[in-house]
Amino acid sequence: MVWPQKLAALAGNVARVARRVVEPLRAACVFLHDQLRAQDAVIEKSSTDALPKGMGRLTHQILQREACDWSRFQNRRQVSSYLGLCPSENSSGARHQQGHISKCGNPRLRWCLCELAWRLLRYQPGYRGVKKWRERFGPRRSPAQKKQALVALARTFGVDWWRISTGRTTPEKLGLVMMKANAPAK
């Protein structure tokens, strides 16, 4: 057998072995994906409240289940700290310097609120947080400035959601457009 033919035969054997190894992993991944989709559907069905436009039922349930009880926070700083969306600080004497977000809070809530912030920009132009931070998303802004503004919008909404959940304010006062409440799924 010549060298190219040996190489071709070897490549064919490697491909067959790799396929045998990968196929059970692929089947497991498909099964887990289907299980996650089914669980998401069950979780979504438990959300029956009126929601702000742009907030899905799964996002609502993630916020509610991860925070557990919004009334345990006494002020907005505690909420921001729990969300992990407040800036780190390095200060001494008269010098005051804020850095990147601390990320010391709940990573699921932080991710969820950052994803929701993009939807708020699109679906809630009248929301006070969007009005405050919209200018930072202009075409002349760098990607880093846009990320910074997005995190600030996520923090603003997280605090406002705490205020709404504890009855300190109403969505209408914040400029949020609410969708009709979903009927409970049967």
Task: Give the model confidence (pLDDT) of 90-119 as tens digits.
Answer: 888 888 887 788 778 899 999 999 999 999
DSSP three-state, residue 88: strand
Q: Assign 39 a pLDDT band (cuts: 50, 70, 90).
A: very high
Average pLDDT of the chain to the nearest whole number? 88
Tokens matching residue 12: 């064919």
Q: What is the pLDDT of residue 12?
A: 77
Q: Is the pLDDT of residue 185 over 50?
A: no
Q: What is the pLDDT of residue 182?
A: 58
Domain limits, the chain: 46-174
Q: Which helix (H) or strand (E) holds 92?
A: strand 87-92
Q: Assign 1 a pLDDT band (cuts: 50, 70, 90).
A: low
**What is the spatial distance between Cα 136 and Cα 148, in angstroms, rounded to a whole number?**
9
DSSP three-state, residue 50: coil
Q: Is the pLDDT of residue 186 over 50?
A: no
- What confidence tens digit (pLDDT) does each residue in 55-86 have? 999 999 999 999 999 999 999 999 999 999 88
